[in-house]
Structure 1
Amino acid sequence: MLSKTLRTPAAAITLALMLSACAQPWQNYQAGADASTVTARLGPPKEVYDLPDGGRRLMWPTQPFGETTTAADIDASGKIVSVRQVLDENEFYKAQIGTWTQKDVLLNFGRPVETSYFPLMKRQVWTYRYMEANVWYMMYNFYFDNQGILRLTQKTPDPLHDPDRRGFF
C-alpha cells in the first residue's frame, strides 16, 4: 500500500492528466453533423442569430463572470459548419474599424458583459471578458460612434481578477 505522502502527488498527477484530456465545449464536433449533437451536449443556446447565408449562429456565453462563448454556426439545412470559442484575441482582431457595426459585433461575439457611454468622446462601449493566451484575464472593448459604427477597440486587464482591487466591486 502506498504511503500517504506518495498517494497525494500521484493523485495530483492523475487529476492533472485527466483534466488535460477533457475537451473544451467547442471541441470534438464534426462539420456536417446534425446541429442536435451540439444542443444535446451544451443544452439550448442562450443566444441565436441569423446568418446572411440563411444559417444560424447558436451561442453559449459564460458571461458575466466567465471568459468564453461557444458559437456554433449551423447551415440552412441544420448541419454544423463550425463550433468555436469566439471570445479570443484572434477573433476580436477580425473586427474592422470603420466598417463593422454594433450588429456585426453582436453577431460575432454575442451580448456584451457591460455597456457604457462616454459623452465627451460621444462613444458607446461594449465590453467582453476573455482570457488572452489562456493566461491573462482581460477585457476587450468596442467603441461605437453615434451611428453605431465601430471606431476603436481596446484591451485592458480585467479588474475582477486584480488582487489589488478585490473588494472594491
Structure 2
Amino acid sequence: MDRRTALILAMAWSLGLGACAHLGRDPQLLPGQSTSADVTARYGPPTRIWPNADGGRTLEYSQQPWGTSCYMVRLGPDDRLIAIEDTLLYASRFSVAPGMTPEQVSRLLGRERSRVFFRLSGEDVWDWNVMPDQSGYKLRFNVHFKNGTVLRLSQSTVFPDKFFMRED
C-alpha cells in the first residue's frame, strides 16, 4: 500500500469513528427528556442492550475493535435518558477488580476488542483499545481471567509497524 492510500484510509477511519465519538457530548440528547428512540435515531442500533435493576436498561455503543470508547446510555424505567458514560475512560476501567466474572466485566466495559487464551498460564485475556497515554502510542487495557474470574489487569503499548508507511 502506498503512502497516499494509507493516509486516505486513516482519514476515512478517523472520520467514521468521529460520528460515534461525540455521543457522550451530544447537545441534542437531554437527560430527562430524550428517549431510546431519540438515541437510536441519531446513532443507530446499540451493540447490546443490558437490563437494569430499576426496570430501565442500558444501551451499549462500543467502538471496538477499532475505536477507543464505549458509550453506555442509561435509560430509566420510563425510557428517558438518565446518563451517558464512556466506560473505557481511566476511572471506569480501573473499577474492574479481581474476582469479577466475564459478564460483570462486559457489563462495565462493553464489547472487548479481542480474546486470547494462553494455554501455559491458563489465562484468558480480553483487551480493549483505550485512549493513548502521553507517548502517543496506541494503548490496550487487558483483563486476565483465570478459572472464570478476573485474576489481574495490565496495559500494553502498541508500537507502530515499521512497514505500515513504507514506500514500495
Q: State the TM-score, normalized to the length of structure 1.
A: 0.73
- 2-side partners of 1:163 and 1:122: how far apart? 29
The answer to whether the 8 Å contact 1:89/1:132 transfers is: no
Q: Is the 8 A contact 2:97 2:152 kept in 1?
A: no
Larger Rg: 1
Aligned residue in 1 for 2:97: 96
**Pairs aligned (count):** 141
**Equivalent pairs: percent with the same residue?**
23
1: CA distance, partners of 2:77 / 2:97: 26
- Aligned partner of residue 103 in structure 2, secondary structure: helix
Q: Does 1:114 align with 2:126?
A: no
Alignment of 1:6-155 (within 5 A): 24-27=22-25, 28=27, 29-33=29-33, 34-98=35-99, 100-132=100-132, 135-146=136-147, 148-155=148-155
Change (3 A) 1:129 1:37: same
Q: Output one character per residue of 1:58-82: Cα deviation in whole Å (capped at 9) or x when no partner.
A: 1122221111222101122211111
TM-score (norm 2): 0.74
Which letter does structure 2 place at the counterpart of 1:78? D
Change (3 A) 1:76 1:133: farther
> What displacement does 1:133 show?
5.4
Could you tell me how far 1:25 is from its partner in structure 2? 1.5
CA RMSD of aligned residues (A): 2.2
SS of 1:38's equivalent? helix
SS of corresponding position for 1:26:
helix
Unaligned ranges ≥5, structure 1: 1-22
What displacement does 1:51 show?
2.2
Alpha-carbon distance between aligned partners in 2 of 1:54 and 1:132, rounded to the nearest angstrom: 36
User: Any idea what the Cα deviations from partners look like across 1:15-55, whole Å, max 9, x if unmatched?
Assistant: xxxxxxxx822113332122222222111112112223322
Assess, with a 3 A threshold, how the Cα gap between structure 1 residues 165 and 76 changes in structure 2: closer, same or farther.
farther
**Greater relative CO, 1 or 2 (CA 8 Å, sep 6+):** 2
**Greater mean alpha carbon deviation, residues 76-85 or residues 47-56:** 47-56
Q: Following superposition, which runs of at least 4 residues in structure 1 exceed 6 angstroms of deviation? A: none
Displacement of 1:165: 6.5
List gaps (5 residues or longer) in structure 2: 1-20
Letter in 2 for 1:72: V
